[in-house]
Structure 1
Amino acid sequence: MEAVLDQVRVKPQPRRVFMLGVALALAVVIFAIDTLSPLDMAIAVLYAVVVLFLTNEVERRTLLLVGAACVGLTMLSFTIMHRENYNLASVMRCIVSIAAISVTTLLSLKNQKATRALREQADLLDLSHDAVFVRGDSDIITYWNQGAERLYGWPRAEAVGRKASQLLHTVFPESPLEIREAVHRAGRWEGELSHTRRDGTPVVVMSRWSLQRDARGRPIATMETNSDITQRKRAEDGLHQAQAELAHVTRVATMGELTASIAHEINQPLAAVVTNGEACLRWLGRDVPDLGEAKSAVEQMIRNGRRASEVVARLRALARRGEPLRLPVDINEATGEALLLLERELSNHRVALDLSLDPKGPHVLGDRVQLQQVLINLALNAIQAMDAVPEARRCLHLETSTRDEAGQRRVLIKITDTGPGVDPQNLPLLFNAFYSTKSDGMGMGLSISRSIIEAHNGLVSATLVEGGGMCFSVTLSEHEEPSS
């Protein structure tokens, strides 16, 4: 590969003149030996060396002229040597020499054509904006296009002959040995790599590898095409950060709407702690202290204190800003915790709750806080939507279940209300950012909910219920707990 690529490089003019001079001197020497030597040998066959010597140095027309000149010199030498003594042996030697020169010239012209085609292909690679380089199976660079020079800052002369991974300080997404085995197995590979430019700045590229094999199927070279995606990755990271910030703002806004429920939820266990504490004092204040009842009252105080602590912990989790976690989550438990924060809203809006939880307690792999945020958003929207219908019809149905879908176990969460629903024409717009059916709505809750569920490789959808109302469905992959 390296030798072929060396051929496609354009030779400088001084070198070409020098090579022509050497070829001329060689032809003169051969002519002198063929004409003056008494040896009965086909000395003129050596003119083929002159043709081969100039194959990669001159153009097609010049090479034809060189071949014709060598044939002419052969015939001239034959005429000088045998003008008065023609015999069959000398004629055959002349014919063999002319045939050898002619065949060599034709083969050289064919080689020139192939070389010219390879040069044109190499020139096309230089037109590419992407970095393209070829490396052997030992990772040694044998070709380096202009796109690679622009991207990495290494000129071709300094890059060729060096190991690609060492030159570019490549950071692989997985083991290099595993990637190499994948390339040998499939003949190609694609993925993101981190490189370092000559000036030390990092660059992220989308890399595509293509393997070249010899006639026996053995790997001989790999062509690597790299596209700079550094700015795109920075934009994606910025977008993810913005989405995380927006989700945090939405959680805080949701907590603001649930302030009354929060106070109610905390006040209940705190009031129970006070009541049990007073009862404990009364049992201990008797002439004969009732230690059993006092112990029971203290145990009740501990349970209610822990309940209040759990409520505070859930609220802090919803309010904090942090990276999403991927841990097993019991959907039934997460749903129950979310509903505790909605008790006050259910009471204020006079909405009945119809709860149907899967008895198997399905688990999913995800971020508990984010999933609870989705449940609270969907349930709160459903509760508020039912203000427009008579109190007797207000009912929030919440159901969890599992099912088989395309050979995979899926967890389904359904939140259904009995409100007025929406215009069927507006149904596809519900999850769009800044679209809201409420006059004071921001239009971000459903959009963020969809982003969270899709980040968990799930789906969220909305359908109209016959007779009035909406049904929001969340589908996630079930996580099987490893058996101990």
Structure 2
Amino acid sequence: MVMRTAIEQAGAERGLLIHVSGDVARVEAEARTGPRGIQVELRDAIPNEQDLPVSLFHRTLQTGDHVITDDALADSRSSLDPYVVRHGCRSIMFLALHRQSRRTGVLYLENNLVPAAFHPRRITILKLLASQAAISIENARLYRDLANREAKINSLVNANIIGIIVWNSTGAILEANDAFLRMVGYERCDLVTGLVRWTDLTPDNFHARSMEALDEARRCGRAEPYEKEYFRKDGSRVPVIVGLATFPADVERGVAFVLDISERKRSEQKILMSEDRLREFELELERASRIATMGHLTASIAHEIKQPIAATITNAQAALRWLKADPPEPTEVSDAIARIVKDAMRASDVLARIRAMIKNAPPKLERVDLNEAVNDVIDLTRAEAARCETKVDVVQCAALPLIRGDRVGLQQVLLNLMLNALEALKEAKGGARILRIETSRQGTDEILVVVADTGPGFSTELKKRLFTPFLTTKLSGMGMGLSICRSIIESHGGRLWASDNAPQGARLQFTIPVDPTSPRANDSPGT
């Protein structure tokens, strides 16, 4: 209607109604005069040089006022414009449209039959029409945006990809899509009769969090998505993520988007179960490695136990002789029994250390004195070292701070490193066979443990792959010993590495963090 009136009042052949928002302009409607009168066509396109003289259009946008050209072909401002040249334009008018001092669009009119078709006296009438056109453009745009928004919302609701509900703060669910009803197992008739309330669907342990989200939505207009659960109609629960938003006109009502995360929760549970099974396998592998390592000590262990047993038998026989003596010698008998107790305790200690190494128990974190742990393992390997004709040198830091860790796991590492060294020393050709174990402070917050030997050492290629799982140079080895050792040390926050021992042999060493609560943790490093 506005375009027809503008064409008639101005005496134009053609016109465009252009909406402008910021830097974006779009043609909303086009009107033309023809044999059947004025025809209006609705459009939605960006104006270009096919539609109008772009140079004059930009001038109108810059000045915010009307631009009139009586003869565009003769006017220097427009004579070279491609649209003017192509269509032979004569009379042209651009009229800026404003609403409440805000530019909303441009009205373009043209007449290519006669020059000076748009008389200045008509501008007043056209400005009135322009204000009406601005209102029409604004309303058309608002209705279009509203229609588009409603279409998008309807598409989202009807797509049933996620659950959508309209709620109020008293707990009622005023409306819900099919996706939400399926999620909680209710029918639409249950919703209509008021049986479905979000407060009733929320378990007690999620009620406080739901109320926090409701308060946040009241204050801010929306609440950050959060996880909770809903009761299904059958009493089971469904895990969901909920996002809230209140209506601007009523903060006690709003819309919520509900996403079912049951599949994600099942996947997370499977991952946790897989991690638990993996940890169980790792523990079994560590235990198998310990048992295999202890198997190499069978002869040494037998010797360690045989000695105190033999001594016990000897002392028992001596005690019997002293008892049968005439007269009996109670002092000698008492000394013999004391020696029996001492030898029995020695055998018991050996068995206790072996049991601790091979028992199937989870890691136990406790304060550990590494010097004591080293000495226990040296006692276990003493007979093996003697059998290998190896001298064992021990250099320990006297005031070593305690560490926090798993004693059995750390002793497994020490035992593995010492047995590997003794195995290498068997192959040493000439020279002294020496196994050296050192403990010392490494800076202020770590302890360094070194196991060095004078054996043949590592080849360059072997050194690169030393900690690779299943790599072994032994016929009966699993190739997991050093790999497990590194895993144990790294789980304690430490580092295990290998290097050459000067002037000959191999050197394996690891660091372990000091327990900061240890009484000697802040002492100066020293040996």
TM surpasses 0.5: yes
Distance 1:119 1:423, change over 3 A: farther
| Letter of the structure 1 residue corresponding to residue 493 of structure 2 | N
Asked whether the 8 Å contact 1:188–1:208 carries over to 2, the reply is no
SS in 2 for 1:393: coil
Corresponding residue number in structure 2 for 1:50: none
Distance 1:99 1:145, change over 3 A: same
Pairs within 5 Å for 1:166-245: 166=203, 227=264, 228-245=267-284
1:420-467, Cα deviation, whole Å (9 max, x unpaired): 222223323111111012344221111222222223332221122343
Pairs within 5 Å for 1:254-293: 254-287=293-326, 289-293=328-332
SS in 2 for 1:479: coil
Corresponding residue number in structure 1 for 2:386: 347
Which has the larger strand fraction? 2
SS in 2 for 1:420: coil
Q: Does 1:435 align with 2:471?
A: yes
Number of equivalences: 364
Give, in angstroms, the shift of residue 258 of structure 1: 0.6
Q: Does 1:360 align with 2:399?
A: yes
| Letter of the structure 1 residue corresponding to residue 388 of structure 2 | H
Equivalent of 1:331, from 365, 370, 373? 370
| Letter of the structure 2 residue corresponding to residue 237 of structure 1 | D
SS in 2 for 1:342: helix
Which has the larger helix fraction? 1
Pairs within 5 Å for 1:25-40: none
Distance 1:472 1:210, change over 3 A: farther
Corresponding residue number in structure 1 for 2:24: none
Distance 1:310 1:122, change over 3 A: farther
SS in 2 for 1:305: helix
Corresponding residue number in structure 2 for 1:445: 481
The percent of aligned pairs where both chains have the same amino acid is 31
Corresponding residue number in structure 1 for 2:345: 306
Corresponding residue number in structure 2 for 1:78: none
Distance 1:450 1:212, change over 3 A: farther
- Distance in 2, matches of 1:141 and 1:456, equals 53
Equivalent of 2:288, from 237, 249, 273? 249
Runs of 5+ unmatched residues, structure 1 = 1-60, 62-94, 171-175, 181-186, 214-219
- Distance in 2, matches of 1:400 and 1:298, equals 38
Pairs within 5 Å for 1:405-416: 409-416=445-452
- Distance in 2, matches of 1:190 and 1:459, equals 41
Equivalent of 1:422, from 438, 445, 458? 458
Asked whether the 8 Å contact 1:410–1:478 carries over to 2, the reply is yes
Runs of 5+ unmatched residues, structure 2 = 1-41, 43-129, 214-222, 247-253, 520-527
- Distance in 2, matches of 1:460 and 1:142, equals 64
- Distance in 1, matches of 2:164 and 2:457, equals 56
Distance 1:142 1:233, change over 3 A: farther
Give, in angstroms, the shift of residue 342 of structure 1: 0.9
- Distance in 1, matches of 2:437 and 2:336, equals 35
Distance 1:460 1:288, change over 3 A: same
Q: Which has the larger displacement, 344-353 or 418-427?
A: 418-427
1:33-75, Cα deviation, whole Å (9 max, x unpaired): xxxxxxxxxxxxxxxxxxxxxxxxxxxx9xxxxxxxxxxxxxx
Distance 1:453 1:254, change over 3 A: same
Asked whether the 8 Å contact 2:365–2:404 carries over to 1, the reply is yes
Give, in angstroms, the shift of residue 392 of structure 1: 3.1
Distance 1:249 1:278, change over 3 A: same
SS in 1 for 2:418: helix
Asked whether the 8 Å contact 1:136–1:222 carries over to 2, the reply is no
- Distance in 1, matches of 2:180 and 2:455, equals 61
- Distance in 1, matches of 2:383 and 2:416, equals 15
Distance 1:201 1:470, change over 3 A: farther
Equivalent of 1:396, from 416, 429, 435? 435
- Distance in 2, matches of 1:141 and 1:270, equals 82
Equivalent of 2:358, from 303, 319, 336? 319
| Letter of the structure 2 residue corresponding to residue 410 of structure 1 | E
Corresponding residue number in structure 1 for 2:494: 458
Corresponding residue number in structure 2 for 1:45: none
Distance 1:124 1:473, change over 3 A: farther
1:210-262, Cα deviation, whole Å (9 max, x unpaired): 9999xxxxxx9999996432222222222222222222222222222111111
SS in 1 for 2:389: coil
Pairs within 5 Å for 1:11-26: none
Distance 1:452 1:110, change over 3 A: same
Distance 1:425 1:145, change over 3 A: farther
Corresponding residue number in structure 1 for 2:198: 161
Equivalent of 2:418, from 357, 375, 379? 379
Distance 1:335 1:141, change over 3 A: farther
Asked whether the 8 Å contact 1:209–1:225 carries over to 2, the reply is no
- Distance in 1, matches of 2:390 and 2:373, equals 21
| Letter of the structure 1 residue corresponding to residue 317 of structure 2 | E
Superposition TM-score, scaled by structure 2 size: 0.54
Asked whether the 8 Å contact 2:403–2:518 carries over to 1, the reply is no
Asked whether the 8 Å contact 1:140–1:160 carries over to 2, the reply is yes
Distance 1:300 1:100, change over 3 A: farther
| Letter of the structure 2 residue corresponding to residue 345 of structure 1 | E
SS in 1 for 2:443: strand
- Distance in 1, matches of 2:414 and 2:331, equals 42
SS in 2 for 1:435: coil
| Letter of the structure 1 residue corresponding to residue 460 of structure 2 | P
Give the CA RMSD over aligned residues.
Answer: 5.4
SS in 2 for 1:402: strand
Asked whether the 8 Å contact 1:353–1:396 carries over to 2, the reply is yes
| Letter of the structure 2 residue corresponding to residue 430 of structure 1 | L
SS in 1 for 2:441: strand
Corresponding residue number in structure 2 for 1:64: none
Distance 1:225 1:376, change over 3 A: farther
Asked whether the 8 Å contact 1:394–1:419 carries over to 2, the reply is yes
Give, in angstroms, the shift of residue 265 of structure 1: 1.0
Equivalent of 2:508, from 447, 460, 472? 472
Distance 1:99 1:390, change over 3 A: closer
| Letter of the structure 2 residue corresponding to residue 161 of structure 1 | W
Q: Which has the larger displacement, 156-165 or 422-431?
A: 156-165
